[in-house]
Amino acid sequence: MSGVEWIRLTAVAGATVAMLGGGWLVFARLKAKEQGFGPNSLKALGLVLFLPALVIIGVVIPEFKTETLAALLGTVAGYVLSHSEAD
């Protein structure tokens, strides 16, 4: 395996660990607060799953255009910064 392949493998493994760990943290926090799913918890879960997925897509598929990745990241930023309920 070349150095580039190791970097790709490490990035994909790290993003996968971030997805699993982040999902576990969201669920643990909801359980600790004795809450169900609401708009804010769905935002947190979506963010935890979507950002590492973008990293995986960007690393695994080198033909994926940077403009497309930038548009997807802008969508995530708009989603996260949009109005949230106080509950």
Residue 37: its pLDDT value, please?
81
Given a cut of 80, whether residue 80 has pLDDT beyond it is: no
The region, left, alpha or beta by phi > 0 then psi within -120 to 50, assigned to residue 82 is beta
Contact residues for 47 (Cβ-Cβ < 8 A; gap 6+): 76, 79, 80
Residue 75: its pLDDT value, please?
87
- Give residue 39's pLDDT band: very low, low, confident or very high (50, 70, 90): confident
Cβ contact 55:11 at 8 Å = yes
Residue 4: its pLDDT value, please?
84
